[in-house]
Amino acid sequence: MSTTVPVTAQIPGAKKQTPEFVQLLDPDGKRLSDELYDPWVSDVTGDQLASLYEDLIIVRRIDTEATALQRQGELGLWPPLLGQEAAQVGSARTLRPDDFVFSSYRENAVAYCRGVKLPDLVRVWRGTAASGWDPFEVGMATPAVIIGAQTLHATGYAVGCKFDGVDSVSVAYFGDGATSEGDVNEAMVFAASFNAPVIFFCQNNQWAISEPVGLQAQRPIADRAPGFGIPSIRVDGNDVLAVMAATRSALDRARNGGGPTFIEAVTYRRGPHTTSDDPSRYVDPVVAKEWEAKDPIARVEAFLRSEGVLTDELAASIQARADEVAAEFRAGCLALKNPEPLSVFDNVYATEHSGLARQKSQYKAYLEGFEK
């Protein structure tokens, strides 16, 4: 049996809150039954799950390549997502093109699933642009670096969808640390007040940089939402199938006038906060090893092999495809042209400013000094 726990009776069939969560694939790849959430993924075929597996392999390969690029001096910084692939892919692949995503800086797998071009993932991290992509081309805003701010943006967008009479849904991605920010709590107040079609998708990866989640949350984070009048679901964030089921149920609720839902995807950040961080200073290696055994990719692979869907040939083909994407990603990154140095003064003020003009003149003279 699975451990299904929607936290509030506002969802039909909801059970009493416990520290457990919705799980359809256990860490060994065994399929678990769940009468409440099985219907939401009953149409997912073996081939479709294999496609999700391919997504997981590719986004991990992209992440590995980006980390390598940063270590080689080609990126200024990179926020790895190792271990969080299922939470991002499982939720993003449920969205329609007319839905809109508001994310933090770690949702690179979501961006990939939304169709963001590979070089656009690293423009900001390479310092060649102030923004990565056109949000309206892919239905995803560029990442918010201010922690939790995107939840307000998502709520405002959702209220607009409601006023426009469309059934599009906005999704805000954020981490456990963001739930301690005022912006997130304010966003939930407004979302509940306006019955906005928004999903608050919290990836509880157990760490707010170096602060463990237990220091800022004495109860499961999903417990907080009902206090705002928002139903919540706690799901195994390393189970791509369970994440898909939970997100589909929340999307259906939002599209049919049910308002916001809070999803807590329980996962683990297996890498550093960013490439400037050293997690060995604060992570217990025993705990890290335990989470490694719950790897989101390994459990899908085990299930697909047990079902006869994933053969050695298909697995090799998927890995080869991931390597091709990584090579394309690297080439696209290295092909990004550095901005013209004096362009740093562009778009600072709407009209000419004497102080800025003086600084620009001084910087120009400095640069010309290298040409002599």
The answer to whether 7 touches 223, Cβ cutoff 8 Å, is: yes
DSSP secondary structure code for residue 258 in this structure: -
Q: Give me the catalytic one of 282, 349, 358, 366.
A: 282
Q: Is 234 considered catalytic here?
A: no
* C-alpha to C-alpha distance for 22 and 20, rounded to whole angstroms: 7
* C-alpha to C-alpha distance for 153 and 120, rounded to whole angstroms: 21
Please, what sign has the CA dihedral across residues 178, 183, 189, 194? negative
Burial class (CB in 10 A: 0-12, 13-18, 19+), 346: exposed
Please give the angle made by the CA atoms of 358, 364 and 370, to the nearest 5 degrees. Answer: 145
- Hunting for tokens 């986004």 — which residue is that? 59
Q: In residues, how long is the chain?
A: 372
Burial class (CB in 10 A: 0-12, 13-18, 19+), 279: middle
174's enclosing H/E stretch is strand 170-175
Strands 232-236 and 261-266: parallel
Q: Give me the catalytic one of 93, 273, 299, 330.
A: 273
Give the helix, strand, coil percentages of the chain, each rounded to 5.
50, 10, 40
Strands 211-212 and 207-208: antiparallel
Q: Give me the catalytic one of 269, 270, 299, 330.
A: 269
Q: Is 269 considered catalytic here?
A: yes
93 closest CA partner among 304, 257, 245, 236: 245
Q: How far is CA 128 from CA 85, 120, 231, 261, 302, in A?
A: 27, 10, 42, 37, 41
Strands 232-236 and 5-6: antiparallel
Please give the angle made by the CA atoms of 61, 66 and 68, to the nearest 5 degrees. Answer: 95
* C-alpha to C-alpha distance for 87 and 216, rounded to whole angstroms: 22
Tokens of 137: 């081309």
Residues that are catalytic: 269, 273, 282
